[in-house]
Amino acid sequence: MSDRTPAQLSGETRAESDRLLHDALAGGKLPRWAPAAVGVVALALAAVLNLVTFVDGVAGTLVVAALLFGVLQSVWSFVVEGRRHAVDRLATTLVYTTFLLALAPLVAVLLTVIVRGLNALSVDFLLTSMRGVSPREEGGGVYHAIVGTLEQVGIAALIGIPLGVLTAIYLVEYAQQGNSKRLARAVSFFVDVMTGVPSVVVGLFVYTAAILTLGMERSGFAAALALTILMIPVVVRSTEEMLRIVPRDLREASYALGIPKWRTILKVVLPTALSGIITGAMLAVARVAGETAPLLLTTFMSQSINFNPFSGPQAALPLFVWDQFNSGTDASQDRAWAGALVLITIVMILYLAAKLVARFTGVKK
């Protein structure tokens, strides 16, 4: 690039200093094709290493190629462009690699579930229970588990969403009022902490409190209680976020018309934030629908249909998958994967629906 400096304008020394200045500012630069070229060289070298040394396997060779790419490009860049650009290129390489590194297993999970789940999936599988089907036999299905999951998650949503929304209203709308401030801060802090309580601990709590102490039986309802506790903090957080986006002006316009605070909340604030609240609630439902550990502690697995969540063992999809996977026969493994596919489909549909609701009806920021 330095040959473009207009030397004729200003004598030999001036040209020299211009060139130096230009180099200092713009510096040398690797050609645009540099990453591609280095990539090819790195792959070739890795392939050679694969043949002559301990490097083997496709994954191993690719990792070595990536390492070589990083090193080679950095060295070249260091020579031509200087240290700062070499570091920059290395960082860029790392960022791209981490992304590929992460995407691979994430995609693999979905593919594995779909491919293996399709083995046993059929309309029959969705519409029959496991009653009278031994682990070795093929057949049977998840109907009883779907019933259980829908009821348990439904009950959890029925209790958890109103509680969560009310808490969020308290935090956003009432927290500023005098003596409420301290309480609100404590509630807010413990909602955050509650998000981090492991689901198995919540299961233990429901077992010790509801089953051991209150004498409730292990049932779908006990499981629903555990799911409720897991749901509340998620609902509170997302609702809170939505309520905070609702413009102050809307509330003040309402107050100015003489409308009391509670009616303002019900008629102005909540409707404005509604779609966001729905999105948050659906995400919370999706999150708890796949929980296995708390169910394991609070309900018994059942192989037959039980519509009554308040008494008797009731199955659930995650429990079904756990049960079948641990049975260890080929037929039960196939059923476990098919159950997993059903579970993941339900969760994903909830998730996508929530995102669509958010997208098309969201509060304009």
Residues 163-192 interacting with another protein (rule: CB under 8 A): 163-164, 166-167, 169-171, 173-174, 180, 183-184, 186-187, 189-192
CB of 341 to another protein, least distance (A): 9
Residue 202 is a binding residue for another protein (CB under 8 A): yes
Q: Which residues contact 209 (CB under 8 A, 6 or more apart)?
A: none
Q: Which lies closer to another protein via its Cβ, residue 76 or residue 325? A: 325
Residue 327 is a binding residue for another protein (CB under 8 A): no
CB of 276 to another protein, least distance (A): 15
Binders of another protein in range 1-20 (CB under 8 A): none
Say whether 244 sits in a helix, a strand or coil. Answer: helix
Which stretch, 15-23, 45-53, 104-112, 130-138, contacts another protein (CB under 8 A)? 104-112
- What is the C-alpha R_g of the chain? 30
Q: Write the DSSP assignment of 142-209 as a string of letters.
A: SHHHHHHHHHHHHHHHHHHHHHHHHHHHIIIIITTSTTHHHHHHHHHHHHHHHHTS-HHHHHHHHIII
Binders of another protein in range 249-268 (CB under 8 A): 249-250, 253-254, 257-263, 265-268
Q: Which lies closer to another protein via its Cβ, residue 131 or residue 182? A: 182
Q: Which residue of 195, 308, 311, 361 would you call a contact of another protein, by CB under 8 A? A: 195
CB of 323 to another protein, least distance (A): 11
The stretches of the chain forming alpha helices (DSSP H) are 11-25, 34-52, 58-81, 83-117, 123-127, 143-169, 180-195, 199-206, 220-245, 248-256, 261-264, 270-289, 293-298, 317-327, 330-361
Contact 129, 253 (CB under 8 A): no
Say which residue the tokens 């050679």 belong to: 48
Q: Which residue of 5, 73, 199, 332 would you call a contact of another protein, by CB under 8 A? A: 199
Cα 310 from Cα 277, distance rounded (Å): 29
Say whether 127 sits in a helix, a strand or coil. Answer: helix
CB of 9 to another protein, least distance (A): 26
Say which residue the tokens 């540099």 belong to: 34
Number of other residues whose CB lies within 10 A of the CB of residue 323: 21
Residue 40 is a binding residue for another protein (CB under 8 A): no
CB of 189 to another protein, least distance (A): 6
Q: Which lies closer to another protein via its Cβ, residue 72 or residue 259? A: 259
CB of 13 to another protein, least distance (A): 26
Say whether 32 sits in a helix, a strand or coil. Answer: coil
Binders of another protein in range 114-153 (CB under 8 A): 116
Q: Which lies closer to another protein via its Cβ, residue 7 or residue 261? A: 261
Q: Which lies closer to another protein via its Cβ, residue 19 or residue 261? A: 261
Binders of another protein in range 48-67 (CB under 8 A): 54, 56-57, 59-60
Q: Which lies closer to another protein via its Cβ, residue 138 or residue 192? A: 192
